[in-house]
Amino acid sequence: MYALFALKERSRLMLAVQRTPALIRNFTAILPLLLFRKNSPVGALIRRRPELLLYLATKPFISNKWTAKTRVSRLVDHCNTVATTGGVLEFSESESVEILSLNTFEGSYTLTLDQSPWLETEGLLTLGLRESTDRFFQLTFCIASQSGKLVAYIGGIQGTTSADALAKHKRFTKRTYGMRPRDFLVEAFKMLCGHIGVQRIMAVSDSAHANHFKTSGWDPATPKLSYDEIWTERGGTPVEDGFYALPVSPTRRRTEQIPKRKASLYRKRYALLGRAADDLLVRVRQHEQPRRPLANRSRPSPRAFPRGLRERLVAIAYAPVGSLLLAGWVYLLGLVFLQRSIFEVSQTPWSGATEAGFGCIGPVVGRNPMAVPVGAPATVPLGSRQPGFSRVKPKLALYTHFVLIGTAGDEIVPRTRITYQGPLQAGDDR
């Protein structure tokens, strides 16, 4: 367990070091988020989830084509629009709001709205399709207001990787008259957008997806679903900035496009979607509140980002913070290359060192160069002529926390005997 924890901590540290240039470059872009009052929608969100400051500066948000300034603007726009619109979109982070129950056919299926922090690069709200209590398909999105009109940005749609995921998909497709979960979820999202007044839906393409990176080969982070195919099938058309524009109205085939042998199937499917739209409208109206006029928040308003003397004073106050942050990251970078193990063979006896000595296998174990230390590199490799157990002279020498890759365990003790002849034990934690 210690080994896994140590490796995870080192990987996190290396990841933080890799993000340092982006953090420094975009520090001024995220600085305005610190100016919001704590009781404002944006201030409350940053207070609950301060990690968003780092993510907005170093990671894509919805689209990898957006700059840090655009990402901050979209987050501010979403928070203010949800607060202004209210209704079914406004709920606490711990809540899960059921907006539709599909009880007209076999099985227990529901549509829920919640906030999923682990999907925050794709959006701040999640529309989930559940079988009983298990969510097996989800669509992540954000809301914005541009020129007084509501716009929805879809940042991701995906299923789960559970062992029974395929069986759930087949059951749902059969019970909804041949409609796949992803298609139903997109149509349900259109219904929701229509009921809350959204006039435009923008869905991210494959190339602009937040988790899509250009590499020489296939990247595991690349979405396995073809977003372009999904949006095209649901009536989407490609537009600028790597998005597809989806119609808010439902996608239906014309009668002449439906084969005669499938006419009954499509009639039942469309009847199911019609009932779902009516039930969803009832749920949305139950959460309705008096609406305030929507402002054009495609860019932060002057009230959101105060100008004048106060802003300049705050910027001056945070300048030392940026310098300290840079110095801190440089210090962490130095630790990565200069750290030493606390489990090395001590050359100076400590309290109790005369009773037992503790050692950790060094960077080279046996003849395999791929052998690595666990936790941090030790300074005394096996078989070296440096003073270790031979200098401490413990009553019992112990080896602990080591990993062997391609080296037999029975080689450890004989090789240690090159420099040390006293009592010795090598144990593992299996």
Helix (H) or strand (E) holding 135: strand 134-146
DSSP conformational letter for 140: E
Tokens of 284: 């949305």
Greatest Cα pair distance, the chain, in angstroms, is: 92
pLDDT reported for residue 248 = 95
Does the model's pTM come out above 0.85?
Answer: no
Contact of 205 with 222, CB cutoff 8 Å:
no
* DSSP output for 226-273: -HHHHHHHTT-EE-GGGEEEEPSSPP---GGGS-GGGHHHHHHHHHHH
pLDDT reported for residue 117 = 87
pLDDT higher at 136 or 359: 136
Count CB atoms within 10 A of the CB of residue 335: 10
pLDDT band at 265 (very low <50, low <70, confident <90, very high): very high
Tokens of 254: 């014309």
pLDDT tens, position by position, 157-174? 998 888 888 899 999 999
CA distance 17 to 23: 10
> Considering only 90-94, 248-252, 365-369, 387-391, which range has the smallest mean pLDDT?
365-369
CA distance 389 to 422: 8
Count CB atoms within 10 A of the CB of residue 398: 15
Contact of 127 with 188, CB cutoff 8 Å:
yes
Q: Is 159 helix (H, G, I), strand (E, B) or coil?
A: strand
Stretch 175-181: mean pLDDT, rounded?
92
Stretch 394-399: mean pLDDT, rounded?
66
Q: Which residues contact 343 (CB under 8 A, 6 or more apart)?
A: 358, 359, 360, 375, 376, 378, 400, 401
pLDDT band at 281 (very low <50, low <70, confident <90, very high): very high
